[in-house]
Amino acid sequence: MDMRLESKVVVVTGGAKGIGRATVETFARQKATAVIVDKDVVAGKALEEQLNKLGLKSSFIEADLTANNSCEQVIAEAIDRYGRVDVLVNNAGVNDHKGLDASVEDFLGSLRLNLVHYFEMVKFAADSLRANRGKIVNIASKVAQTGQGGTSGYAAAKGGVLALTREWALEFANSGVTVNAVVPAEVYTPMYERELQLQPDPVAAKQAVESLIPLGNRMTTSEEIANATVFLGSGLADHVTGQFLFVDGGYTHLDRAYRGN
């Protein structure tokens, strides 16, 4: 299926690992030029090299998006290399578990880690996105809808991501730019696997989570999040905007007590 992504320039933050890596790979396979933005130089360069060896188009930009002027520099570098930005995927972030026992400074730091750079990336990419009738896809989290406990900063940030998705969908509507969010829940990434390994019984901990996911009693894969993200960033979603697409096996909205017939 032609997703109308050939010659499009796609910027993916947090693009070197996990969901971001799968998203970069999927866009590249659809003939887009994927710009990998990450602070992990080793992982970023390795992915760039791997994709280029396969004849796919990609390049790496090293960036810590929480640093001053970093987001502006990333967009400027992408435009300098390719002359445009057609799709922006805001993905970088991490659940840092800053709850009510955290300091105000830590709470604000969580917002910077998980929300502020979303605003900055869109702000500096806006002109190019408008000129090219581009697309923005924000990666959010089910925590914005369900809560989790002990993670006020991350919950506030991801709630802000969903609110900004709707706000920007309106702000960009007259220029033809679409803005949507993909909302994951339990995604089996390398980061998630590392967290499970800290549990007394990692296998039992994983099974406990999987038992709460109605569809298949399994975690979502990074590739499944990537597929949804690429759809929303493609020409097949030209009239989809302001939407939250939950890719979670029914975890957020279906009864987790369900155990089948």
Question: Is 1 exposed, middle or buried, given 0-12, 13-18 or 19+ CB atoms closer than 10 A?
Answer: exposed
Catalytic residue among 82, 154, 188, 258: 154
Whether 118 is catalytic is: no
* Catalytic annotation, residues: 154
